[in-house]
């Protein structure tokens, strides 16, 4: 789900900070990489794999995976044309990497893994109930489009109340863990030990 406020936020960030970690909403590259490392824990095979990056921004995850010297096929999806344009400029498409603009995640092709970083954080004027529905709808798509597993992160409802912001959505990690455990797979992990303000859920299939 994206609205005018969210689109404006990311456009302004790109203009102000360029095609880097801050340009896609992270504090810095280190904070971005911490999230990447958690998300990629869903990959449990050393064999070549395919991966969909939902809300790919400028495609930095593809470079992060490449640095690990892993054989993979990557597709980055984003709803914002500007993000996809910047991703293609920063990381030219090749035989193992490409980027697509999509308005509907159901348009994605199936992959071994699907990952989503930061796409549930900003809600602005959207109601809590509507945003929760959006999260559930999205992770159901991640499940349907992944063969081996999927992962995503979200801001935690255990955040310090004094620092919570009304434009952000804070998810209940135990509720999402339970939803994934009861709807998608037996092997589900909740990672809540790497940051004060967010968590990652891994859903591994075929166990």
Residue 134 in any domain: the answer is yes
Residue 16 in any domain: the answer is no
Distant-in-sequence, close-in-space partners of 184: CB < 8 Å, separation ≥ 6: 139, 143, 203, 205
**Is residue 78 a contact partner of residue 99, using CB atoms and an 8 Å limit?**
yes
Alpha helix positions (H), the chain = 4-17, 29-39, 60-66, 81-90, 128-145, 173-183
What confidence tens digit (pLDDT) does each residue in 97-111 have?
999 999 999 999 999
pLDDT at position 203 is 99
Q: At 171, which CATH number?
A: 3.40.50.150
Domains identified in the chain, total number: 1
Poorest-confidence range of 23-32, 86-95, 129-138, 188-197? 23-32
Give dist(CA 101, CA 103) in Å, integer: 7
Q: Which of 87, 139, 88, 91 is nearest to 116 (CA)?
A: 139
What confidence tens digit (pLDDT) does each residue in 18-43 have?
888 787 778 788 989 999 999 999 99
pTM, rounded to two decimals: 0.94
Beta bridge partners of 156: 171
Q: Which of 191, 178, 190, 185 is nearest to 204 (CA)?
A: 185
Range of the domain at 70: 33-204
For residue 207, what pLDDT band results from cuts at 50, 70 and 90?
A: low
pLDDT at position 19 is 80
**Is residue 180 a contact partner of residue 191, using CB atoms and an 8 Å limit?**
no
Helix (H) or strand (E) segment spanning residue 193: none
């Amino acid at each position: 789900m994206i609205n005018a406020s969210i689109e404006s936020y990311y456009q302004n960030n790109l203009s102000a900070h360029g095609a880097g970690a801050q340009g896609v909403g992270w504090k810095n590259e280190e904070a971005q990489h911490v999230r990447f490392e958690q998300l990629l824990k869903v990959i449990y095979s050393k064999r070549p794999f395919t991966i969909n990056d939902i809300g790919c921004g400028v495609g930095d995850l593809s470079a992060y995976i490449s640095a690990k010297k892993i054989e993979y096929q990557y597709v980055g999806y984003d709803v914002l044309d500007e993000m996809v344009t910047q991703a293609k400029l920063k990381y030219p498409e090749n035989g193992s990497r490409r980027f697509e603009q999509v308005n509907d995640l159901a348009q994605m092709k199936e992959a071994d893994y699907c990952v989503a970083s930061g796409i549930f954080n900003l809600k602005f004027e959207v109601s809590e109930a509507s945003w929760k529905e959006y999260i559930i709808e999205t992770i159901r798509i991640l499940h349907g489009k992944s063969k081996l597993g999927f992962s995503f992160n979200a801001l935690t409802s255990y955040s310090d109340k004094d620092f919570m912001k009304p434009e952000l959505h804070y998810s209940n990690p135990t509720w999402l863990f339970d939803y994934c455990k009861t709807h998608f797979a037996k092997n589900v992990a909740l990672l809540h030990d790497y940051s004060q303000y967010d968590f990652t859920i891994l859903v591994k299939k075929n166990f």
